[in-house]
Structure 1
Amino acid sequence: MASRQQLLRLTEETVCPICLDFFTDPVTLDCGHNFCRSCITQSWEKKEINSCPECREVFPERNLRVNRALANLAEEARKLKLDPKDNGSKPHCEVHQEDLKLFCETDRKLICLICRDSREHKTHNFLPISEAVEIYKILSQRRNRRFDKQN
């Protein structure tokens, strides 16, 4: 029988990073990242540029390869009635199995409250995840605007 942790990992691997739901008609970009066909198509239409939302690589042509293996995995996860938006599927610290609640600005990674108090992070700066998301969204938007102006 699969452990809860294994089910959570399965769920994470079968979720589109754009819609945050199980993949529907998953496709792979030339950079190797995967998205639902409709999600990436809509994203490209909004931006009017063919770039990967994860790594920002720009593609001169829309080369979308069907990812059947990922489609099968997503279907199996659906059959297990896993909820990709379930609070139980929040990422957990691999060391302490605690919810990741903080963003370590120094190491640029998510950590749990126990990690925050460890020697490894003693002199580091932290933000609540929601605050870090807002800050990095703004920075990403500014970077995209500069990129758009250059091209």
Structure 2
Amino acid sequence: MASREQEESLSEDLICSICLDFFTDPVSLECGHNFCRSCITQCWEKEINSCPECRQEFPEKNLRANRILVNLSEKARKLKLNGKEKESKLHCEEHQEELKLFCETDKKLICLICRDSRKHKSHNFLPMVEAVEIYKDGVKSSFDSLTEKKSTVLEMEQQQKQKISQIRKQSVSLQSHITSEFTKMHQILTEKEQRFIRDLREEEEKILKPMEENLCEIQENLNSIQEKLSKLENQLEQKDGVRFLKEEASRKRR
């Protein structure tokens, strides 16, 4: 267990913090942190010359090749590839034998020793290659069915989009038509309003003209009467009898 943890810790020390993979052409910065040459070069093209880990800034781009990390990273990369090759060959966890059969009853891969055990008694087995072909056919059938279903759903999606687009176009057209019709109605109502007002004014003038002429005559008559009243009032105020009679005789003659 301790050895496993040590291996993982060593692997982490050999991984570039920018690309998260084993170092390729590793270089060291003045702060002591290491990166792939291409990674730190691309990083500095986008921002100022600073360390991506500690953020220390540098006036110049000084990159020192780290020969030790070159060898260690290459060895770690090879060990990782070898480990993956070993893991690619599946083995039975219980018997450490290669898995060659597929138990249809339990739906799992087993080795030849598992087949003869009591746990798999009376179970149905298939060679791994044959099981792969059978289940691939099932997966292919599901894939084809889903592909056909996807095609149908895509067609439905396209139809729905067309309907939505059509409804929106109809709505825009209807809004434009409504606006146009109401504009016409407003124009018609405005013209009617102006015509009614004009007719009303003409009728008003027709009615008021003779009335105003009559009023003028009444006012002239009133002024005449008022003038006569003033003369009669002055005559009544006359204290000289002889003069009063003379004025009265003159008024009668007029």
TM-score, with structure 1 as normaliser: 0.51
Q: What are the within-5 Å matches in structure 2 for residues 52-67 of structure 1?
A: 52-67=51-66
**Could you tell me how far 1:4 is from its partner in structure 2?**
1.1
Q: How many residues align?
A: 81
- Between 1 and 2, higher relative CO (CA 8 Å, sep ≥ 6) is seen in 1
User: Over the residues paired in the alignment, what is the CA RMSD in angstroms?
Assistant: 1.7
State the one-letter code of the partner of 2:11.
T
Give distance in 1, aligned partners of 2:81 and 2:50: 30
Task: Provide structure 1 residue ranges, at least 5 long, that are not aligned to the other structure.
Answer: 84-151
Task: Provide structure 2 residue ranges, at least 5 long, that are not aligned to the other structure.
Answer: 83-254
Q: What are the within-5 Å matches in structure 2 for residues 56-135 of structure 1?
A: 56-81=55-80
Match of 2:49 in 1: 50
Distance 1:77 1:6, change over 3 A: same
Match of 1:40 in 2: 40
* Structure (1 or 2) with the greater helix fraction: 2
Please state whether the residue corresponding to 2:40 is helix, strand or coil: helix
State the one-letter code of the partner of 1:5.
E
Over 4 Å off, 4+ runs: none
Match of 1:5 in 2: 5
State the one-letter code of the partner of 1:27.
V
Give distance in 2, aligned partners of 1:32 and 1:82: 29
Give distance in 1, aligned partners of 2:22 and 2:56: 24
TM-score, with structure 2 as normaliser: 0.31
- 8 A Cα contact 1:44 1:51, kept in partner: yes
**Could you tell me how far 1:82 is from its partner in structure 2?**
6.0
Match of 1:23 in 2: 23
Give distance in 1, aligned partners of 2:44 and 2:38: 10
Give distance in 2, aligned partners of 1:31 and 1:82: 32
Deviations 1:32-85 (A, max 9, x none): 0000000000000011x11000111111100000001011111110111169xx
Distance 1:82 1:9, change over 3 A: farther
Give distance in 2, aligned partners of 1:82 and 1:34: 23
State the one-letter code of the partner of 1:29.
L
Give distance in 1, aligned partners of 2:33 and 2:51: 8
Give distance in 2, aligned partners of 1:75 and 1:27: 15
**Could you tell me how far 1:10 is from its partner in structure 2?**
1.4
State the one-letter code of the partner of 2:20.
L
Give distance in 2, aligned partners of 1:59 and 1:82: 37
Larger Rg: 2
